[in-house]
Each structure stands twice: as structure tokens, then as C-alpha cells.
Amino acid sequence: MNIKMQCCGLVILFVIGCFFQQQKRVRIYTERIFVWTYRMVAVCVSLDILSLVAIDSMDRLPLMLVDVACKLYNTSLVLVVMLGLLYAAVDAYPDEIYVKFLRGSIAAAAAEAVCIFLLPIEYVTDGAGKFLYTFGPSIYATYISGLIFMVATVVVLVRRREYINSRRFEAVSLWLVCWLGSSLIQLCIKELLLVGFGATMGVLVLYVKLENPETYIDRQTGMFNSNALTYFLRERHEKGQHFPILVLVLEDYSNIGLDKEEVEAIRLEVEDCLQRTGAWLFRKSEDEMVMLFAEGTPADAAKDMLVRRFSETWGRSRVVLHPGWISLSDAQLLADSDELGRALRHVRQDVRQVLGRYDVEITGEVLEQMRKEKRVERLLLDGIENDRIEVYYQPIYNTKEQRFTCAEALVRIYDGENHLIRPSVFIEVAEKNGMILKLGRIVFEKVCRLMKEEHPEQYGLRYIEVNLSTVQCADKDLADDYISILKKYDLPPERINLEITESASLLAKETLQRNMERMMDYGIRFSLDDFGTGQSNLNYIMDMPVDIVKFDREMSQAFFENDKAHFVMNAAISMVHGMEMKTVSEGIETEEQLRKMEDMGISYIQGYYFSKPLPQDAFLSFLKEKNGADEVAV
Ligand code: C2E
Ligand code: MG
Ligand code: MG
């Protein structure tokens, strides 16, 4: 009787079981399926041995008993393959579909077991009566059943690839290889009874790749890690459990330079405070510890206790920590288990900029804001990737010459459904995530292309104003980039006027100055945009080497509505003109407003009265119609 392989299998299973039992476990659903798979493989290998013993004693035992032992073994084999399928599908489908999947698989396995039991089994012996292998309809039914589950597993792996955790994908693929390998070998060399051992190797692969509890443990502290947190959150979330989350942030973690013992001391302090609350503690990243409290447990009490502990020196540490706190009163606010990570990044980025220290609550509004930003980011990315960035042009009226001698380029994005999205939706987000650098360059390039290819100067257009974001002004490569684009299109610099705002010099004054000097040396001129908003400073105009000052719509409106604003506007205009700069009034919508502005002696008028921003072709037609293709006034 050859049961060496099966005995090896049992020893391997025993060792895995010992390791698994000893380690701290996160007790999530996948772990439970693994435990079931482990048990079933143990049963399967044991039944393998039992059936071989029964066959060996065939002359002494009733044939039916031998048949039952063999068929039980075959059924257990099919169940093991079915568990492999359930294990692969656990991430792949949402909860309610998974439950249907589970029921369907169990029903299929039950039907297959009935077939295996009803169909006859035959035994092949050598000339001397020594048993070689089993065959016959029951065995074929076993192979076909196993194959059906394997094919289903492959289908799940391939079709739902993007939803399956990559480690699970690899582990289940390897497990399939073990099964297929051992089944094929057994099919070719029938005397080599390898399938049961193949199942054991499959479990070993799952353990090493995924279910080794160390996968969920932070090596430095022994706490549960972010992997464990993701699975844990997902399960609670899918069950619809409401529970508070508290995050302890060790700001400046890398600079403080905590050693291993100090981190360990923090862990002990935190665990000590959490003892009475029964909360789960995770180390999400080096400087973030996440606490998940049981439903209804007041996280505030634990936080108060922790705050008291950390307000003085703790453990054997030489450092006084000033931990920050981010709390979420109900985890059900999160759309999915990964959203906690995104929300933490979002909050930390914002808070660091504004407060410098943390004690914030992630509320529904914060999450909504974050999701909105995410959607806008997608819109920007899609827009850039699929060339859906559009530049609109708003003609600007020259009051002295009574024609349109310049225009402002204003960016728009078409979303996937062909809706035109205005900059108020995306500029702020693009500035925050840095995409404005790319977006700005695209707009600039499109403007240069229009100038080069359509020659709008033939209709009297001298230059186009292009907005520069404060973030672009702080980019040290800006001047080189823009000059090289002008050179690429062989465009004279007088065709471009760049609009900057006062806030640009607050962010990075020196870089802005260097950029401006480089570009002015090349011949590009500048305007000061949005004058009259926020805390505009008259002194600022004196410092800034600009040619044009643009009065914001807000300022123009105030002028029409308020008598005193009249004096302010008057003073501002004479001051700007006195410094030999031109003025533009934005947001002029009626003829009356136009007349008043002309009376004030403003140099240019921009507003809906003349035209809204227009797409390129409509803009060129507008110029042709209003200015005519007359003398080239350059
Ligand atoms: P801005 O540079 O002050 O541009 C003027 C804004 O006022 C434009 O809004 C324009 O459509 C609007 N406007 C002009 N005349 C009237 C009027 O008579 N009535 C009203 N109600 N509005 C008028 P838009 O196109 O939505 O742009 C808003 C802001 O987005 C711009 O303000 C600018 O700060 C920014 N922006 C637009 N394009 C770009 C760009 O390519 N790069 C950067 N960095 N910012 C841009
Ligand atoms: Mg502007
Ligand atoms: Mg403006």
C-alpha cells in the first residue's frame, strides 16, 4: 500500500495548522473560508488513506464498504475544489451576489456528490492481485465535477481580475496549477496517487501567500497592518455595521526619529487605553494608528484617556509626543473600505495647510467634498488624455479705436457626455493637485496654434491674454517652457499677454519675479488680473512690471451700484493711466454700463455686452464680422 505521499501531506497540514493557530489573527471572512478549506483538505487526505486501506483489505471487507470509502474520498476532492472557487470569488463580487454564488456552488457540489455515489466504481489490480488504481463512471464523474469548478474558478479570475486582490489572484492561480499538475500526472501515471497531496500543496500555497497571519501583521510592532484594516473594514461595512473610527496621527514621525522600543512603548500605551473599550487597533502607516470601536462604544472617552496619557512623557521615551486626532463618528459614511485611506490623505493635506495640527472630524460634507474633487480630477485627467480641453475666446473692445483688438483665452473642458465644464469647477482642484501646470501649457499651446494657423491679426487682433495660475507662477520652469512653445510656433512674443494675479507673488515672489524677468526679456508682456477683488493693494501695482490692469467684475459692479465706489474707480484709473498702463473693465453687460465706463476713460472693455467667450471658429467669425478683414493693424 503506497500512502507515503498522503502521510507527507498530513505532516505538512499539521505544521501549517500549528503555525496558524499560534499567530494573532484578524478573523475576517476569507480567513474563515481558508479554515474550511484547510479542514476539508485534512478530511480529504485522511479519506484518501482510509480508502487505500479499505482497498488493501478488499478481500476481508464487504465491497460496498470499500466503495463508500472511495466515493467519500472522491466527494471530498470535489468539495476542496469548490472551496477554491469560493476563495477566489470572495473579493470578486458584492455581498449579495456572493451569497447567491455560494448557494449555487453548494447545490452543484451536492448534485455532483449524488452522481459520484450513484455511479459504479471499478478497481484495477495487477496480475498478482495488487491494487493499482480505481476507474469507472464514478471516477469520471469526480474528474468532470472537479473540472467544472476549476473552469468556473478560471472564469472568475479572468473576468473579475480588477476586483480581486492581486495576492489572492496569484495564490489561487498557483493553487490551480497544483491541482491541474497533480491531476494530469495521476491521469498519465495511474499508479501514482498524487491528487490528495496536490490538494495539500494548494493549501500550503494559500497559507504562504495569503493566509499566513503575518500578511496582516506590521513587522515592526506586531500590530495589525493596513491590509488587515482594509479587509476588516470591508466586512463590517458590507454587514452595515455602524461604528466610530479614531485615528492617531504622529505628526513629524520621521523627523522625531523614534526607535523600535519607543514605537513599542506607544503601542503599549495605546493598547492599555483601549483595553476597556475592546477596540481593534491597526497601524495603517508608519505615522497613523487606526482604532475601530465596537458599535455603540464611545470613542471620545478613549480619546480623552489617550490625550491625557500623551500630554506628559510616556513609557521610557525621551520625546514628548503631540499626537493629532482624526475621527469619523460612523464608518457607514464611507462609500467603501478604501475610502478611509483617501479621506485621511485628503484631510491631512488640507489640515496641514490650514491648521498645522490635527483634531478633525471627517464628516459627511468632508467626504462629499473629497468625492467631488475625485470626480473633478477624473474629469481633468480624461480631458487631458482624450484631448477634450477647449479654449474659448472672449473679445475685448478697445474704446479708443472702437474695435476688438485683443481677447482673453478661457479654458473649458468637455466631459464624457459632451457637457461643457467651466473653470470654476476645476481650476481650484487642478491647482491643488498640480495638474494646472499641464493644463496651462495645453491652453498656451492652443492659443499659439490659433495665432499661427488662423492669423487673426488679419482681422485686427493684436494679442491674446492667457491666464497664469499662481501655481504656474511658482514653477521655475515656466519661463523656459512658454518661451520654447513660442519658438516652436515661431510666434512673435507681442502676440501674447500673460495675466497674473496678486496672489501669485504671495506664494513664491522670487520665482515669479525670475519668471517674469526672463519672459519680459524675451518680449512677452503682462497684465494684472482680478484687480479689485479681495484685498487688492494699490502699492502692488507699482511693484509689478505689468502693462495692463484688469478691473474685476466685482469692482465694475460696485462702481455702478455705489456712489463712493465711483471715486475709488476714478482714482484707480487715473493712477494706473498715470503710470502709463492700460485699464480693462471686466463684466460689462449693458449699454449703460459701457457708456459709464467709456466716460471714465477706461482703455478696454470686456463683457457679455459685446460677447460671451466663444469657441475658436465663432470667435474668428465674430472678429471678421465686427472688425472686418481690413488693414493689418499690427
Ligand atoms: P478671469 O480671468 O477673471 O476671467 C473672466 C471671467 O469673467 C470669465 O469666466 C468670463 O467668462 C467672465 N465674464 C466675462 N464677462 C462677463 C460678464 O459680462 N458677466 C459675467 N457674469 N461674467 C463675465 P470664466 O471663463 O468662467 O473663467 C473664470 C476664471 O477661471 C477666470 O477669471 C480665470 O481666473 C480662470 N481661468 C479661466 N481660464 C483659465 C486658464 O486657462 N488658466 C487659468 N490658470 N485660469 C483660468
Ligand atoms: Mg483673466
Ligand atoms: Mg479677471
**pLDDT digits 0-9 by tens, 253-265:** 777 777 777 778 8
Q: Which of these, 295, 420, 307, lies nearest to 357 by C-alpha position?
A: 307
Question: Cell numbers of 273, please?
Answer: 487605553
Instruction: Please tell me the least confidently modeled range out of 262-271, 352-361, 378-387, 615-624.
Output: 352-361
Which residue minimizes the CA distance to atom 20 of ligand 1?
Answer: 587
Question: Cell numbers of 60, please?
Answer: 476481508
Instruction: Report, in this order, helix, strand and coil percent for the chain, each rounded to 5.
Output: 60, 15, 25
Name 135's bridge partners.
122
- What pLDDT is recorded for position 633? 43
Instruction: Specify whether the CB–CB gap between 472 and 478 falls below 8 A.
Output: yes
**Helix 436-454 × helix 616-627 angle, to 10°:** 40
- CA–CA separation, 536 and 569 (whole Å): 13
Mean pLDDT confidence for 356-374:
86
- pLDDT higher than 90, residue 3: no
Question: For residue 448, which phi and psi values (nearest 5 degrees)?
Answer: -60, -40
Per DSSP (E only), the strands in 454-571 are 463-467, 496-500, 525-531, 548-551
Which ligand is located closest to the Cα atom of residue 499?
A: 2
224, with CB counted inside 10 A (0-12, 13-18, 19+), is buried
For residue 292 and ligand 1, the question of a CB distance below 6 A is answered with no
Instruction: Please tell me the least confidently modeled range out of 213-222, 403-412, 587-596.
Output: 213-222
Buried b / exposed e across 51-88, counting CB within 10 Å, b at 16+?
Answer: bbebbbeeeeeeeeebbebbbbbbbbbbbbbbbbbbbb
- pLDDT higher than 90, residue 620: yes
- Centre of ligand 1 to C-alpha 423, Å, is 7
- What pLDDT is recorded for position 430? 95
Taking only the tens place, the pLDDT of each residue in 130-170 is 777 788 999 999 989 999 999 999 999 999 888 887 878 88
Which protein residues have a CB closer than 5 Å to ligand 3 (ion)?
529-530
- What pLDDT is recorded for position 217? 86
DSSP letter for 320, please: P
For residue 440 and ligand 1, the question of a CB distance below 6 A is answered with yes
Local confidence band at 471 (pLDDT 50, 70, 90 cut-offs): very high
- CA–CA separation, 52 and 70 (whole Å): 8
- What pLDDT is recorded for position 198? 83
Task: Name which residue leads in pLDDT, 455 or 183.
Answer: 455
Best residue among 412, 427, 531, 584 to mutate for probing ligand 1, ranked by most atoms within 8 Å of CB:
427
Instruction: Specify whether the CB–CB gap between 498 and 460 falls below 8 A.
Output: no
Average pLDDT, the chain: 87
Return the top range by mean pLDDT from 56-70, 86-100, 464-478: 464-478
- What pLDDT is recorded for position 215? 80
- pLDDT higher than 50, residue 611: yes
Taking only the tens place, the pLDDT of each residue in 513-529 is 999 999 999 999 999 99
For residue 608 and ligand 1, the question of a CB distance below 6 A is answered with yes
- What pLDDT is recorded for position 602? 95
* Amino acid at residue number 555: M
- Write out the DSSP string of 308-328: HHHTS--TT-SSPP--EEEEE
Per DSSP (E only), the strands in 286-428 are 288-292, 324-328, 359-361, 389-398, 403-414, 420-421
- What percentage of the chain reaches a pLDDT higher than 70? 94
- pLDDT higher than 90, residue 533: no
Taking only the tens place, the pLDDT of each residue in 379-388 is 999 999 999 9
Q: In which residue are the cell numbers 470626480 written?
A: 375
- CB-facing half-sphere around the CA of 338: CA atoms within 13 A: 3
Taking only the tens place, the pLDDT of each residue in 34-81 is 889 899 999 999 999 999 888 888 888 888 899 999 999 999 999 999
Mean pLDDT confidence for 455-478:
95
- CA–CA separation, 237 and 101 (whole Å): 20
- What pLDDT is recorded for position 318? 62
- pLDDT higher than 60, residue 487: yes
Pairing of strands 359-361, 389-398: unpaired
- CA–CA separation, 295 and 290 (whole Å): 16
Which ligand is located closest to the Cα atom of residue 587?
A: 1
For residue 529 and ligand 1, the question of a CB distance below 6 A is answered with yes
* Amino acid at residue number 495: R
Local confidence band at 634 (pLDDT 50, 70, 90 cut-offs): very low
589: helix, strand or coil:
coil
Instruction: Specify whether the CB–CB gap between 423 and 596 falls below 8 A.
Output: no
- What pLDDT is recorded for position 536? 63
Task: Look at the alpha carbons of 394, 400, 405, 406 in this order and tell me if their dihedral is positive or negative.
Answer: negative
pTM over 0.85? The answer is no
Which residue minimizes the CA distance to atom 42 of ligand 1?
Answer: 467
Distances (CA, A) of 110 to 43, 219, 411: 17, 43, 63
Question: For residue 578, which phi and psi values (nearest 5 degrees)?
Answer: -60, -30
Mean pLDDT confidence for 215-233:
86
Mean pLDDT confidence for 113-117:
94
Mean pLDDT confidence for 468-476:
94
Local confidence band at 320 (pLDDT 50, 70, 90 cut-offs): low
